[in-house]
Amino acid sequence: MVSALPLTLAGATLRRRGKVLVGPVDLKLGERGVTVVIGPNGSGKTSLLRMMHGLQRVAAGSVTWSLPDTEARRRQAYVFQQPIALRRSVLANLVFPLRLHGMPRAQATAMARTAASRFDLTAKLEQSAPSLSGGEMQRLALARALIATPEILFADEPCAALDGSATRQIESHLVEAAASGTRLVMATHDMGQARRIADDVIFLLHGRIHETGPATAFFDGPDTAEARAFLRGDIVD
């Protein structure tokens, strides 16, 4: 299968009411691996992910996939910080994206049940999705995002509101998806999590990439004073 990756950002800039939220950003995302986006509050992590996913149109520069946009869009999934679900059963939420991809109902239902089992949601299949706990809801959001095997998954702080054991579950699903070939781009505030799962890091400051590189080198000895301060836990603004 021809890949939608690499994804290339060239001078990509996002503006709101005349103010630059992100950019200009130059970046190339290859076909494999886990890229973790870090940076202080308001540095533009969410905006960068949304811009890459095409949820927000660039004001300048370009965001280019290796396939036409309509095809590239079908190969992507996005998990929001606040998980969203249809006001329907867990099963219906899992079936929905498969039906969007044109899969027959019986096959989609069988696949949804398999995904529910992998994500420990079998007992919840008939439950209304909005009544799930935070951890269950994020597991559902991730199961739904991964069910059609996206080539790339954008995840915006997927563990932000979760406790340790729920975080561990989500992380293991993310790592498993990446090992199976899904390209992962994730924003997080949790430096322990970033160290655990990142192959490479993008450190944002004021909407710009301040430093980027392989995770081990970044965490062992960042090049910039701002990244060193950020990793020490100092306030960087």
The contact set with ligand ATP (CB under 6 A) reads: 16, 21, 39, 41-47
- Of 51 and 90, CB closest to ligand ATP: 51
Q: Measured from the CB of residue 222, what is the shortest distance to ligand ATP in angstroms? A: 18
Can you spell out the DSSP letters for the chain?
Answer: ----PPEEEEEEEEEETTEEEEEEEEEEE-SSSEEEEE-STTSSHHHHHHHHHTSS--SEEEEE-SS-HHHHHHTEEEE-SS----SSBHHHHHHHHHHHTT--HHHHHHHHHHHHHHTT-GGGTTSBGGGS-HHHHHHHHHHHHHTT--SEEEEESTTTT--HHHHHHHHHHHHHHHHTT-EEEEE-S-HHHHHHH-SEEEEEETTEEEEEEEHHHHHH--SSHHHHHHHHT----
- Of 90 and 205, CB closest to ligand ATP: 205
- Of 119 and 203, CB closest to ligand ATP: 203
Q: Measured from the CB of residue 37, what is the shortest distance to ligand ATP in angstroms? A: 8
- Of 103 and 202, CB closest to ligand ATP: 202
Q: Measured from the CB of residue 8, what is the shortest distance to ligand ATP in angstroms? A: 21
Q: Measured from the CB of residue 16, what is the shortest distance to ligand ATP in angstroms? A: 4
